[in-house]
Each structure stands twice: as structure tokens, then as C-alpha cells.
Structure 1
Amino acid sequence: MSCHQRSKRAPLRRLLGAALLALAANAQAFDLNSDSPIKVSADNARLDDAKGTAVYTGGVVVRQDATELTADRVVLYRSQGALNRIEAYGKPAHYIQPQQGETPKTDAEALTIIYAAGENRLTFEEKAVIRQNGNVFKGERIDYDTARRVVTAGGGSKSDGGDGRVEMVIQPRQGSGTSEAGN
């Protein structure tokens, strides 16, 4: 690869990296250290204190302030009296986090969404799609390390019916006059 080709790819890599971080920056799930309660509504609930689980089914809505998770089935796990894991299952399950400061609204969906607070991990599995400010990130599995702000994605295997690829649609930078990718 020539020096000219490498110099043309550097702005594209920076743009891709910035877009990936922008998509993930707001995906922090629920704030378990907040004073705001997490409210759950559903058609049915089964609480098991001995196991530390609560299983909600039927039109489940989990909300904390304006952050919302909707699914067909949600399992909450408690350990030592504190909520530490949320698993949501749907066709698909949806996760919405409103705009925070300059970070735009995040709208995500997957057949399975898992928030593991102790692991600082938010995972979207099976037909995962994250949308933010016109940008779209798709994969069979998208993991976001909320502490280190690192995204890892996989396209799934071709034997699962997918094409084995991760897809991104990145909108051009708005309002700056010139685009870094256009140079």
C-alpha cells in the first residue's frame, strides 16, 4: 500500500472510530447508582426472593427517568439486595435512551438485550441494531463495555442465516463546512 493510499484511509478510520464511539457513548443502560427508581410494568410478574430474581412477562416496560426498555419478557437479578443484571427478550426488545447533553438519543433493538452492571457490559444479541442521529450499527452481537467505552461487534455465522458481517451507516459531519473524509 502506498503512502498516498494510507493517508487517504487515515481520515476514514478516524471517522469510523468516531461514529462507533458516538453510537456507543450514550448506551450506558440504567444507572443503578441513581436516586431515581427503576419502574417495571407488565401483564404478569413472578418474584423469587430466595433466588433473587423477578420475571416479568407480557408487554414489559422498564423505565428509569426517560430511559426505557420494552420487551416480551424481562428478568431482573438481585445480589446482596441490589439489582445487578437485567435481561430482556423480545421480537425484538427495544432500548431507548434520550438525548443527554450533546449526545443524541439512542434507539436500539435486538432479540436479547442484557445489562450486566457488575461487568459494566451492555449486550445486544441476535439481529442487533443501534441507531443514533442517523447513524446505524448492525450485527448479530454488539457488546459495549460501559466503563472503558469499547464496542465489540460480530456479524454472526453464515450458518445462522446471516451474512457474517457487521454493518455501519455513518452520516457525514454536519455544519463544519468541510468534511474530513472529503479531503
Structure 2
Amino acid sequence: MKPSDNSMRKLLTAILAASLAGPALAFDLDSDDPISVSADSARLDDGKGIATYTGAVVLVQGKTRLTAERVVLYRSVEGLNRIEANGSPARYQQPVTSGEGETDAKALNITWSAPDKQLTFEREAVIEQNGNVFSGDIIHYDTEQRVVTAEGSEDTGDGPGRVEMIIQPRSSNNSTQ
């Protein structure tokens, strides 16, 4: 009996969500750690609450790190509420909160939205964690509900792009020698 595409998608999403459940992939506005930014150039429009950084941008909060060619920060009266990063690729890294390892995510566009509590990786998106790999054209990660949703690319004539996963087997303490 072959599982339907829909049931397979639900299973794969559940597996990925479980594998990514350790970290709360996002910058933490409630943290006492400041967010520091370095870049080749910066432009601040204080009236609009927009800061644009270009050229080898590095944004760091604690052990969370975002690198990109261009980063735009949006502030409201409540504070920082959106980060948009572009690169070839832009890269997001954060240690796993439970256990060892690191989440390493790459995409041409990365967006973090504080109000939506969501990270979005678009175009050539790949998330790696402890040997598990998840790729797709668009990957959304709800940092509060810890739900991952992924989409393949549109059909370009060669067939639609697919969401792909590599899931490592659980290590066994009962290995024989």
C-alpha cells in the first residue's frame, strides 16, 4: 500500500518539526543580549524606522548569527519587528538549545517577523541540523508553535521543484562489536 502524497507530506513535516524542535529559531527580543550589526556601509532612516546595512553584514545576538550581503531592520514604537536578509546565500546559525550541534540555515532571502513569530527562508532554502537536511524553495518556521511548512518551486517545464529531506537514523547505544 503506497501512502498518499498528502499523508507523506504530513509525516515529513512532523519529522522535520520534531528534529527542529530543540531550538527556537529566532532572535529573542526578550533577551538581555543586545543585537549587534557590522557591515561595510549603513543607512538609517530614523523617521521611517528602517536601517539598511550592505556589504558583508554580520548580525549577532548571543550565539545566534545572521550573515548576508544586505540586511534591512524595521523598527516600530515597540522595537525591532522585522529583519530581511539577502545574500548568495544569506546564512542563519543558532546552537541547538537541547543537546549538541547547531542549526545552519541558508537561503537567498531570509525574513524574520516578530509579530508573526516566523522565520521564512526563500529561494534555494536549506536547513541542516545534526546531519538532518531539509530543502525546498520556501520554508516557513513558526518559532512559537514550532511548525515547519515547506514548498517546492513552481513547475518551470522540467517539472515542479520538490521538498527534500535527509533524516539520520537514531544512534543506538546497543551497537554490537
Q: Which range, TM-score by smaller chain?
A: 0.7 to 0.9
Assess if the C-alpha contact under 8 Å between 1:139 and 1:155 holds in 2. Answer: yes
Aligned residue among 108, 122, 128 for 2:105: 108
CA positional deviation for 1:66: 1.2
How far, CA to CA, are the matches of 1:165 and 1:84 in structure 2? 31
Instruction: Determine helix, strand or coil for the equivalent of 2:156.
Output: helix
Q: 1:130 corresponds to which letter in structure 2?
A: I
Residue 77, structure 1, aligned to residue 74, structure 2: yes
Instruction: Determine helix, strand or coil for the equivalent of 1:17.
Output: helix
How far, CA to CA, are the matches of 1:18 and 1:144 in structure 2? 14
* Aligned match of 2:115: 118
Aligned residue among 63, 68, 72 for 1:66: 63
Q: Greater helix percent: which structure?
A: 1
Q: 1:152 corresponds to which letter in structure 2?
A: T
Assess if the C-alpha contact under 8 Å between 2:23 and 2:98 holds in 1. Answer: no
How far, CA to CA, are the matches of 1:38 and 1:54 in structure 2? 13
TM-score scaled by length of structure 1: 0.84
Q: Percent identity?
A: 56
Where structure 2 has 5 or more consecutive residues not aligned to the other structure, the ranges are: none
CA positional deviation for 1:19: 3.8
Aligned CA RMSD, in angstroms, stands at 2.4
Instruction: Determine helix, strand or coil for the equivalent of 1:118.
Output: coil
Aligned residue among 147, 151, 155 for 2:148: 151
Aligned residue among 14, 18, 22 for 1:17: 14
More moved, 42-51 vs 92-101: 92-101
Residue 129, structure 1, aligned to residue 123, structure 2: no
* Aligned match of 1:47: 44
- Residues 126 and 162 of structure 1: CA distance in aligned 2, closer, same or farther (over 3 Å): farther
How far, CA to CA, are the matches of 2:71 and 2:148 in structure 1? 24
How far, CA to CA, are the matches of 2:80 and 2:20 in structure 1? 26
How far, CA to CA, are the matches of 1:140 and 1:74 in structure 2? 20
How far, CA to CA, are the matches of 2:168 and 2:49 in structure 1? 43
Q: 1:76 corresponds to which letter in structure 2?
A: L
Residue 165, structure 1, aligned to residue 162, structure 2: yes
Where structure 1 has 5 or more consecutive residues not aligned to the other structure, the ranges are: 179-183
Assess if the C-alpha contact under 8 Å between 2:40 and 2:53 holds in 1. Answer: yes
TM-score scaled by length of structure 2: 0.87
How far, CA to CA, are the matches of 1:66 and 1:37 in structure 2? 11
* Aligned match of 2:29: 32
How far, CA to CA, are the matches of 2:127 and 2:16 in structure 1? 12
* Aligned match of 1:90: 87
